[in-house]
Amino acid sequence: MHESQITSSATQAVKTSRLSWFDDVLLLGIMAVLAGCGLIYEYLLSHYAGRILGALEAAIYTMIGLMIVSMGLGAFAARRIKDAFTGFAVLELTVALCGSLAILITAAVIGFGQQLPMLIASTLGLPPDQLPEGGMIGSLQKLSEHLPYVWGVLLGLMIGMEIPLIARVRQSLSDEHLLHNAGTIYGADYIGAGIGAAIWVGFMLAIDIQLAAALTASFNLLAGFVFIWRFWPKIQRAKLLLAGHFVVTGVLLLLAIQGPSWEQQFNNLLYKDKVVYAKATRFQQLTFTERLRGNGLSPIYSLYINGRLQFSSIDEHIYHAFLVHPTLAASARHNKVLIIGGGDGLGLKQVLRWEPEQVTLLDLDAALVQLFKTPDTNMPKRLSQALLALNGNAFNDPRVNVIHDDAFNGVDKLIAAGEKYDAIIVDLPDPSHPDLNKLYSDYFYRKLKELMSSDGALTVQSTSPYHAQKAFISVAKTLALAGFDVKQYHHNVPSFGEWGWSIATLNGKDAQHRLALLTELPIADDWLTLGLVKGAFEFPANFYQDATNIKPNELGSLQLYHYHQQAWSETQGLDLF
């Protein structure tokens, strides 16, 4: 053989053993898809912990941290997989199955764990006040709430194996060293993760969480199908793996169709009262429960948001009467009123009793407001009628202007428009998340100061002075730092216990002195009396003795968030009223 022929044959051998552009694009595309799936699994599991379990919002960061560490361990573990081709095909089948079932299994375990005391009591004939709680049962219930993190670690380990295996597959398809193998794969990984985040925010936040899990798992399964099709000769037991992919495809179809209803049924076990309607909005999980009382008494309806009780129809009027009427009674005028939060319209109903000319309600969640304005056709008619009766059909009043925006930014638009309000009512959720904390900051209150008339009054719901004393006092100190004259008051709301509010003014006498001058309330109420209002400003003699050591909540400090978390850490979580 001539030297030129030998050289030509060697060159041809090199060419035929190089990684083809098709295989390269295919593998990088698979890596990008899987990166997006991995990020969505992080969001899904942390989202479930936050929305359904009512866990601390730090669950999001805990989940992401755990999964990142697990992915690192998974990358090391991938070295023990001898056959990268077969290992990758098995891996995607396993990830798809675990990812699709994680939420449903978690819901089932936690739901039955909460029902276990009642099942035991029913079996043994125990009275309702002697449910077997605490001890081993309590420990099992607490452990079950950590199940999302177990799934996070498991999925993180498997997701961490994907990049090393894809890198080995790429390298094995070429006899030459791939100079930028790792860099190219990581580039696809980062881009895919970014696309996954966009899909989560733009699409999956608005759909049922179990459906989102099934859809995400389907992409893992699709990646496995494509990989098996392309590299069939290099995969051991390829027919068996292909059959496994078809079986899991059937499981995913079943989970996509029936999974959301199954998951909701398991979630419903978390509540002692019957769940009659549930809806996941873009921002939160809404759950309505019903308790039948008989003897001609109307049912008790309660709303839970992300597992936390928001109101109960039996005593919501107490909370909203104390929120609204002292505020408007302390204001010089009531022509223009601003409500921040209060998307259920219950506070709005009380405001409209003062015959204002205009009420502006600023709430982020349009879907929540819509439920209380024009109830969903899928909602039981008795519930929709009860909701409209509770808020007096307030959202359909022509004097009401609803703005859907984040409160922190929404008030800027009102300031830019030159708006002024005679009274401002802030009815926001407790500062249980850093994003909510800023709505209790000195900076936010200074914004509200620009919107309020000089002789008006502003009231902020301020959590429980009994359970979260430091957080309660911190709200007042923050308002004072923003330039308000602040007084605080409290009253018992049976569904919540002792609850408190902070009322602030800018000029003249403080709100307590203004209310003390009244001889009767301008608005007659079935519960609230002038005596109750005046008495609400009284606190135990030692209540404020440590106030000098309690700090205001300056923007960026997260001070109130930490006070709140510290106080409620033992009582937050599953709310089973």
Partnered with residue 302 across adjacent β-strands are 289, 312
Catalytic residue flag (residue 427): yes
Please tell me the distance from the alpha carbon of residue 350 to that of residue 524, in angstroms, as a whole number: 11
In terms of C-beta density within 10 A (0-12 exposed, 13-18 middle, 19 or more buried), how is residue 507 classed? exposed
Please tell me the distance from the alpha carbon of residue 344 to that of residue 264, in angstroms, as a whole number: 22
Please tell me the distance from the alpha carbon of residue 87 to that of residue 463, in angstroms, as a whole number: 53
Q: Which amino acid is at 528?
A: L
What sign has the CA pseudo-torsion 63, 65, 68, 74? negative
SS3 state of residue 456: strand
- List C-alpha distances in Å: 361 to 140, 311, 541: 43, 18, 37
**Neighbour-count burial for 241-263, b at 16+ CB within 10 Å, e otherwise:** bbebbeebeebbeebbeebbeeb
Query: Are 117 and 202 spatial neighbours (Cβ–Cβ below 8 Å)?
Result: no
Please tell me the distance from the alpha carbon of residue 568 to that of residue 573, in angstroms, as a whole number: 9
3-state secondary structure 526-549: CCCCHHHHHHCCCCCCCCCCCHHH
Please tell me the distance from the alpha carbon of residue 132 to that of residue 141, in angstroms, as a whole number: 12
Query: Are 440 and 520 spatial neighbours (Cβ–Cβ below 8 Å)?
Result: no
Q: Which residue in the list 422, 427, 430, 442 is annotated as catalytic? A: 427
In terms of C-beta density within 10 A (0-12 exposed, 13-18 middle, 19 or more buried), how is residue 372 classed? buried
Following DSSP, what letter does each residue of 224-251 receive, concatenated?
HHHHHHHTGGGSTTHHHHHHHHHHHHHH
- List C-alpha distances in Å: 575 to 309, 358, 444, 541, 572: 7, 36, 30, 32, 8
Q: How far apart are the first and last CA of the chain?
A: 90
Query: Are 329 and 522 spatial neighbours (Cβ–Cβ below 8 Å)?
Result: yes
Distance of CA 529 to the CA centre of its chain: 37
Please name the helix (run of DSSP H) or strand (run of DSSP E) that holds residue 573, with its range, or none. none
In terms of residues, how long is the chain? 577
- List C-alpha distances in Å: 161 to 25, 73, 92, 164: 20, 9, 10, 6
Pairing of strands 308-312, 336-341: unpaired
Please tell me the distance from the alpha carbon of residue 394 to that of residue 350, in angstroms, as a whole number: 9
Please tell me the distance from the alpha carbon of residue 124 to that of residue 133, in angstroms, as a whole number: 14
Give the residue numbers marked as catalytic: 427
